[in-house]
């Protein structure tokens, strides 16, 4: 991996105008004029393109794209575009990453790049024998899968392995075939679905049963992205903060009610990068939550512990089926501009960056919860939305928001009252 000298430590980034920030990002990422101009355009999707993407198009909805700073990932600084409608998500990543930047930032890895397609076989009289009959045809099955996508094979991907499971169910015993495919820089849903549909009649014939469902599994547990980082105790505000954060993690680890919200916070960061890069947020969300419950009990996607030196160490591991080609990644111009900001050349690098963002987001949420509470930071930003909803325009927005926060009354009725007072 190339180690660059570019720095993500852009001081005063949050105080710059959007135009200044675009210039800073363009300078960092070496964006051309077209990419910068695209970022400058609000509601930046061509209506004709939208028509090709989905059905019944009437409009498009613009979600703000913020850029997270301070991230150092595997020795390389990176600016990370995040698409989200939720206040304080981007700020939390910036703050969390700053607190581990001098300690080296994030170290990441990936388990592999394989997706799983499932073929459901019903009415198989001898499931155990059928399992072996199918496994005996591994080479033939591999060749049939690869023939579905010669381009993928040329790129070094294609069929990798075969699994056959016998699944007892409410409706009787099923035989489930897993086609395991390396989809390289594509998320791979369409790719593996095509393979499953092509193989299904053969599998039905060999098993003596009939095939029904033929589709990928979103529990992409052969495509796990991992990230870890260490936060020095002095950088996070002392031992009491560290111990509070560990207690917050222990709560999430032990309790599904807490874990759901803990993981939702992680996905605030993860989904924002997935969306900004034109990837499938639902696929990543489904995979993450299924993976969090893999031991039979829903739990935290992150792990936290104290190092021998008393520092706070965090780790995350979750399925990350994202691509640089396929789906909307290639055709949405804003997704393309966001991928250029990231400077990623492989889907693996993108997946690893997203894992680091998820860990940073979790750090931010746990720290806030274990200290001042989530509302202090959240409400300061949210107050702007409340002020706008109450009718504030221009400079009124900041003034109304500041008064709401000071009074600890970030509410619509209070905003209406404050606005009326300001306007005399
Ligand atoms: P795709 O079929 O559009 O593109 C993948 C193809 O691109 C490959 O078959 C390959 O031939 C080609 N390709 C070119 N360069 C490549 C490279 N460097 N690496 C790998 N392939 C390369 O897209 P996809 O990734 O197969 O499917 C993603 C889409 O499927 C998303 O839009 C997703 O929303 C949708 N989808 C998701 C689900 C789900 O359950 N998650 C189900 C169905 C569809």
* pLDDT tens sequence across 186-199: 999 999 999 999 99
Q: Are residues 170 and 52 in the same domain?
A: no
- The atom of ligand 1 lying closest to the CA of 280 is 34
Question: Which of these three, 25, 42, 62, is where a domain ends?
Answer: 62
Q: What are phi and psi of 171, to 5 degrees?
A: -95, 15
How would residue 58 be classed by pLDDT, with cut points 50, 70 and 90? confident
* Catalytic position from the list 280, 311, 317, 348: 280
How would residue 1 be classed by pLDDT, with cut points 50, 70 and 90? very low
For 236-277, the pLDDT digits (tens) are: 999 999 999 999 999 999 999 999 999 999 999 999 999 999
Give dist(CA 347, CA 279) in Å, integer. Answer: 11
Three-state secondary structure along 336-360? HHHHHHHCCCCHHHHHHHHHHHHHH
Q: Which domain holds residue 391?
A: 376-422
Model confidence, pTM: 0.91
* Range with top average pLDDT, 17-31, 58-72, 136-150, 368-382: 136-150
Q: Are residues 37 and 150 in the same domain?
A: no
Q: Is the pLDDT of residue 350 over 50?
A: yes
* Catalytic position from the list 86, 146, 255, 396: 86
Question: Do 315 and 242 meet the contact criterion of CB atoms below 8 Å apart?
Answer: no
Residue 77 a catalytic site member: no
Question: Which of these three, 217, 243, 271, is where a domain ends?
Answer: 217
Q: Count how many domains the chain has.
A: 4
Question: Do 138 and 163 meet the contact criterion of CB atoms below 8 Å apart?
Answer: no
Q: Are residues 232 and 325 in the same domain?
A: yes
Mean pLDDT, the chain, rounded, equals: 95
Q: What is the CATH number of the domain that holds 163?
A: 3.30.70.420
Lowest mean pLDDT among 35-44, 205-214, 405-414: 35-44
For 393-407, the pLDDT digits (tens) are: 999 999 999 999 899
- The atom of ligand 1 lying closest to the CA of 183 is 20
Question: Which of these three, 371, 393, 414, is where a domain ends?
Answer: 371
Q: Are residues 365 and 244 in the same domain?
A: yes
Question: Do 313 and 236 meet the contact criterion of CB atoms below 8 Å apart?
Answer: no
First to last CA, the chain: 61
Ligand 1 pocket (Cβ < 6 Å) reads 149, 151-152, 155, 157, 183-191, 193, 216, 218, 280, 283, 323, 325-327
Q: Are residues 103 and 121 in the same domain?
A: no
């Amino acid at each position: 991996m190339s180690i660059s000298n570019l720095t993500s430590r852009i001081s005063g980034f949050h105080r710059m105008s959007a135009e200044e920030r675009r210039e800073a990002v363009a300078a960092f990422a070496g964006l051309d004029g077209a990419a910068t101009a695209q970022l400058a355009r609000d509601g930046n999707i061509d209506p004709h393109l939208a028509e090709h993407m989905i059905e019944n198009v009437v409009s498009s909805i613009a979600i703000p794209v913020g850029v997270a700073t301070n991230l150092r990932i595997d020795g390389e600084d990176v600016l990370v575009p995040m698409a989200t409608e939720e206040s304080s998500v981007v700020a939390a990543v910036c703050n969390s990453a700053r607190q581990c930047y001098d300690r080296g930032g994030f170290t990441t890895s990936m388990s592999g790049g394989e997706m799983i397609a499932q073929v459901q076989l019903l009415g198989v009289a001898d499931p155990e024998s059928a399992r072996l009959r199918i496994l005996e045809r591994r080479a033939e099955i591999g060749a049939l899968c690869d023939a579905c996508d010669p381009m993928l094979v040329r790129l070094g991907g294609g069929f990798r392995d075969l699994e056959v499971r016998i699944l007892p169910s409410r409706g009787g015993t099923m035989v489930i075939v897993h086609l395991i495919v390396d989809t390289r820089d594509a998320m791979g849903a369409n790719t593996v679905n095509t393979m499953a549909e092509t193989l299904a009649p053969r599998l039905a014939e060999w098993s003596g049963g009939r095939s029904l469902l033929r589709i990928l599994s979103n529990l992409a547990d052969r495509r796990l992205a991992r990230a870890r980082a260490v936060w020095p105790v002095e950088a996070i505000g002392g031992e009491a903060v560290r111990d509070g954060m560990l207690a917050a993690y222990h709560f999430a680890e032990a309790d599904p009610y807490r874990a759901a919200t803990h993981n939702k916070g992680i996905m605030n960061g993860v989904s924002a990068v997935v969306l900004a890069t034109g990837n499938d947020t639902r696929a990543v969300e489904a995979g993450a939550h299924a993976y969090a419950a893999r031991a039979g009990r829903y739990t935290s996607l992150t792990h936290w512990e104290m190092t021998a030196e008393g520092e706070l160490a965090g780790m995350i591991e979750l399925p990350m089926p994202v691509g640089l080609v396929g789906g909307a990644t290639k055709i949405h111009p804003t997704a393309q501009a966001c991928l250029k900001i990231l400077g990623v050349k492989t889907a693996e690098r993108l997946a690893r960056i997203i894992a680091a963002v998820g860990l940073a987001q979790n750090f931010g949420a746990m720290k806030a919860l274990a200290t001042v509470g989530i509302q202090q930071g959240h409400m300061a930003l949210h107050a702007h939305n409340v002020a706008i909803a109450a009718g504030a325009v221009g400079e009124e927005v900041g003034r109304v928001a500041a008064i709401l926060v000071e009074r600890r009354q970030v509410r619509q009725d209070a905003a209406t009252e404050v606005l009326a007072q300001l306007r005399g």
